[in-house]
Amino acid sequence: MNKTIKIYIAVLVFIFVLILVLDKGNPKPIDWTPTYSVNDKIPFGLYVFDNEAKKLFKNQNIERITTQTPYEFLSSKVNESYINDEENQDENQYLNTYVKTYLIKGTFLNISEEENIDSQSAKEIFEFVSKGNNAFLSMKTFPKLLVDSLKLELKTDFLPTKNVSIWMANKKLSKLKYQFNTGEGYFFSKIDTLNTTVLGYQESANNKKSINFIKIPFHDGYFYLHTQPVAFTNYNLLKANHFKYAENVMSYLPKNDVFFYTKYEEDSISGSPLRYILSQPALKWAWYLSLIGILIFVLFNVKRKQRIVPIIKPLPNLTVDFTKTIGNLYYQEGDHTNIIDKKIIYFLEKIRTEYLIDTNNLDDNLIKKLHHKTGKDSKDIEDLVFLINEHRKSYHGNLEEDLIRINLAIEKILN
């Protein structure tokens, strides 16, 4: 690990420790996200409502729909049959009438920030209500199919303070007005007055009275529509006496089974493997700092670095080494004659290849040519030729001295 990387790591560790020190002791920020989840204890979750449901619906069975859509749940509780219609008899053929009945009876309940029901499920809810059941929907916006079929229109008020007063239409039930921090003042701007019963009102900062809770008959059942789902959240159920408003609203529902649809809220929980890390401020910042550190490291090292140039040793001249070895061998054996012969052969070959001089006759002619081509002193050339001729005549005195004299004479000429 080089010095630069160590510096990067040290800086990141220092920043991380600094953030932990600064963040230590700070209160955890409140999450105001309107999840409307029965698992969330944050202000706009439904954890309290879910736990108090048994008190709100006394002596009633509560079944939670968590893994299916309303269509999947309700359609699984259907008994389908055909009945022979003898009154419309055509000769010997009977007409079969399709009859759809539900194996359950009660109220479909859904509380959410916005409509979370698909069109197929909305159709099934209409069918469920038409068979003598009920549906309670508390949300700021409703499925288009429901709004169009029940001849409704919704609008919203601009709320500078985000506060709205809410009360029940039936003064015998309650005369109190409750102040809610809703964020948006949705209300019914148009209803079918002949078939709709107004159950509740609201009043925003501009003192405009509007309808927020209605009851609409549909064949043998009823729809209960409420535009302030915030009334059932943790924040408002635990604030002062606001829980009484929720009790008053739910008191309109018939005393039978309740089918509480919570699938949407369950699905809103992130399935990301980083869900817990991102939910904790310290871990979240550690994750972000790690990503930033990696990015900085990449940016600083994007410039290509020159690789270290390896030291390549030159190839050894094996011919020279071999020659030295052979020469040392001859010298140690005392074979001076052989060494002198090799020296003479090497010298004459050099003259033939480099200077193109015939060496068959070592005479005055050769001395003159070699003198002109090498520029060496003719006296030195003449001495070398004399020594070579003497050696070839088999006149041998002290061989070691002859070797030295001939070697020195050759080096004068070649060097």
Weakest-pLDDT range from 120-129, 232-241, 393-402: 393-402
List Cβ neighbours of 130 (8 Å cut-off, separation of 6 or more). 218, 219, 220, 221
Which pLDDT score is estimated for 259? 97
Which pLDDT score is estimated for 267? 47
Q: Are 369 and 354 in contact (CB under 8 A)?
A: no
Percent pLDDT > 90 in the chain is 37
| Residue 284, phi then psi, degrees to nearest 5 | -60, -45
Pairing between β-strand 78-90 and β-strand 93-102 as defined by DSSP bridges = antiparallel
Most confident segment among 204-218, 222-236, 259-273, 316-330: 222-236
Which pLDDT score is estimated for 266? 44
Q: How far apart are CA 292 and CA 279, in angstroms?
A: 19
Average the pLDDT over 246-252 and give the result.
95
Q: Give the domains, in start order, of the chain with CATH numbers.
A: 1-27+273-312 (no CATH), 47-267 (3.40.50), 318-414 (no CATH)
Q: How far apart are CA 415 and CA 408, in angstroms?
A: 10
| Residue 154, phi then psi, degrees to nearest 5 | -120, 150
Using the predicted structure, report yes or no on whether residue 351 has a pLDDT greater than 80: yes
For 66-102, write each residue's pLDDT tens digit.
888 999 999 999 987 666 655 555 544 445 666 789 9
Using the predicted structure, report yes or no on whether residue 263 has a pLDDT greater than 70: no
Six token digits for residue 35: 């999840």
Indicate the residue type of 257.
D
- Kindly tell me the sign of the dihedral angle through the C-alpha atoms of 351, 356, 357, 359: positive
